């Protein structure tokens, strides 16, 4: 097992990996940009190293600096989290060349299925149904020709894309020139690769993904599915596991197809196969994400597995801890992605300082977060500040718990999309489980309702009361009514000093 792991990421995923490592008795190394000096992942790690200015290309995307830091710190392995370099084959290869373990698939596997067109070709060869479209990168003229052959509507996609970026739906041929330019531009900026391809657009379909885990000994399992159909601008907003639409027969067919594709490429570690499923339960392979997913906590909640620990054990050469026949889905889990953004102002990012924070609690709740009172939410990165997860014995209980949790969640200093989630969770289509990839966009086109004003007022009042209570607690004598918040802070600082 590794004695020390460097986490090549930031935010809540870096905190998530650090916590898993600490439970396993593994030392942790954080890297950070200049604006992240006081970030929670920096505070929690055993060691932390500055790697550059705020812009990602000068810090979190600098392969040379990350590898140099790992060697300097004596880390034997690097966990990439998700985003940034997590699906970068060059980064994985450099780790291999430098004698470092990349906690993820091999560089060969990333190249084979991480590229969207290559993944589609492999899936087709493995007998996995794919969405009709091209299987190689195209020139602008080839895009036009492909669209005429496939038929409208289509989606123009970045070959190196992910996270809903680098995608344009085209419903008329007149839209093509602008869509091609926009997709290439976004792909270059986000992934450093302007390559694009074309797929037929399947409207009113469900976006279902299958989590797979594979070790270096040839064992591959699938861990159920995640319902990811509620999307805005092709980015997931709320995820569930299991899907209310998927029955046992479909789950087995999709899971077996995902395992077949993983074995075909010699895949190891965590990965996710994304599918579109039509109303008749026909499924089509979209792409494979060769990394841990943002929404992995809901799979953990219903399977009881710790996917990060599983990743680390597999990377260290150990066998998977479970067989396929041992995996059972228990209950239901829902995840809301909490962003620092204003849903009533076209979801514009809302950077700033967290002035007050009250997180929900109670049975069945889990919060993955990297924020704390007084921390800064920078403008330079994705505005995801936390993930709120609720588990219940069934879907109804999970929905009740996450609604209650959202009513307790207060973040002051930045605007968040918490009111937006409250509305989405009460949509009749969501409550009935009758959703697809167009549900949220269709609803948003009608405009958000204004009933969130009352909730905003309640949040402000609650925040003001919370700040007032904290102020009184910090001035109260030690030993009267508890040790007070100042004592709690002091204990936290002392604990941090001992760890370091």
Enzyme catalytic residues: 291
Which 3 state secondary structure label does DSSP give 169? Answer: strand
For residue 116, count CB atoms less than 10 angstroms from its CB and return exposed for 0-12, middle for 13-18, buried for 19 or more: buried
Give CA torsion, residues 100, 105, 111, 112, to 10 deg: 150
**Please, how many CA atoms are within 13 Å of residue 55, restricted to the half-sphere of its CB?**
4
- Nearest-5° Cα angle at 300, 359 to 371: 30
Q: For residue 170, what are the CA distances in angstroms to 52, 155, 207? A: 39, 6, 19
Q: How far apart are CA 254 and CA 244, in angstroms?
A: 15
Tokens found for residue 111: 């190249």
Residue 284 is encoded by which pair of tokens? 């089509």
Q: Whose structure tokens read 């950070």?
A: 32
Q: DSSP for 39-66? A: -HHHHHSSEEEEEE-SSGGGTTT-HHHH
Q: Which two tokens stand for residue 134?
A: 């091209």
Query: Number of helices and strands (H, E) in the chain?
Result: 17, 22
Q: How far apart are CA 25 and CA 385, in angstroms?
A: 27
Distance of CA 41 to the CA centre of its chain: 17
Beta bridge partners of 273: 210, 288
Q: Which residue has the tokens 């196969």?
A: 273
DSSP 8-state assignment for residue 318: P
C-alpha pair distances (Å), 42 with each of 108, 414, 438, 496? 32, 22, 39, 11
| 287/459 Cα distance (integer angstroms) | 40
Question: Residue 456 and residue 351: Cα distance in Å, rounded?
Answer: 18
Tokens standing for 363?
């049975």
What's the rounded Cα separation, in Å, for the pair 351 and 326?
Answer: 44
In sequence order, what are the beta bridge partners of 65? none
């Amino acid at each position: 097992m590794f004695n020390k792991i460097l986490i090549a990421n930031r935010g809540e995923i870096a905190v998530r990996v650090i916590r898993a490592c600490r439970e396993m008795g593994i030392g942790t190394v954080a890297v950070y940009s200049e604006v992240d000096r006081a970030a929670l992942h920096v505070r929690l790690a055993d060691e932390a190293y500055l790697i550059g200015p705020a812009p990602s290309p000068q810090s979190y995307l600098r392969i040379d600096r990350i590898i140099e830091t790992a060697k300097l710190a004596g880390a034997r392995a690097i966990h990439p989290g998700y985003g940034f370099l997590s699906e970068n084959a060059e980064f994985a290869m450099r780790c291999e060349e430098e004698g470092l373990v990349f906690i993820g698939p091999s560089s060969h596997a990333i190249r084979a299925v991480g590229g969207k067109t290559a993944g589609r070709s492999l899936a087709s060869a493995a007998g996995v149904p794919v969405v009709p479209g091209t299987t190689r990168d195209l020139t602008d003229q080839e895009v036009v020709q492909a669209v005429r052959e496939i038929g409208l509507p289509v989606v123009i996609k970045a070959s190196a894309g992910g996270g809903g970026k680098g995608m344009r739906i085209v419903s008329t041929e007149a839209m093509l020139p602008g869509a091609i330019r926009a997709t290439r531009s976004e792909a270059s900026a986000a992934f450093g690769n302007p390559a694009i391809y074309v797929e037929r657009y399947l409207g009113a379909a469900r976006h279902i993904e299958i989590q797979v885990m594979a070790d270096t000994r040839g064992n591959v399992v699938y861990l159920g599915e995640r319902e990811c159909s509620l999307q805005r601008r092709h980015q997931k907003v709320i995820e569930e596991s299991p899907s209310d639409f998927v029955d046992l027969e479909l789950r087995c067919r999709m899971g077996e197809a995902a395992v077949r594709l993983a074995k075909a490429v010699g895949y190891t570690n965590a990965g996710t196969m994304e599918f579109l499923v039509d109303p008749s339960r026909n499924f089509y392979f979209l792409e494979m994400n060769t990394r841990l997913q943002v929404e992995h906590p809901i799979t953990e909640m219903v399977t009881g597995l710790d996917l990060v620990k599983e990743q680390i054990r597999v990377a260290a050469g150990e066998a998977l801890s479970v067989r396929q026949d041992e995996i059972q889905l228990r209950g239901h889990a829902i995840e809301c992605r909490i962003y620092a953004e204003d849903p009533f102002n076209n979801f514009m990012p809302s950077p700033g300082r967290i002035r007050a924070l009250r997180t929900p609690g109670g049975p069945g709740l889990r919060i993955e977060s990297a924020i704390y009172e007084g921390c800064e939410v920078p403008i330079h990165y994705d505005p995801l500040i936390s993930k709120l997860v609720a588990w219940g014995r069934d879907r109804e209980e999970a929905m009740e718990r996450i609604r209650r949790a959202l009513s307790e969640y207060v973040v002051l200093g930045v605007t968040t999309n918490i009111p937006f989630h409250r509305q989405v969770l009460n949509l009749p289509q969501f409550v009935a489980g009758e959703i697809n990839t167009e549900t949220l966009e269709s609803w948003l086109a009608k405009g958000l309702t204004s009933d969130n004003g009352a909730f905003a007022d309640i949040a402000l009042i609650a925040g003001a009361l919370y700040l007032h209570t904290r102020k009184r607690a910090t001035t109260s004598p030690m030993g009267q009514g508890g040790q007070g918040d100042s004592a709690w802070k002091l204990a936290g600082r002392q604990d941090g000093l001992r760890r370091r």
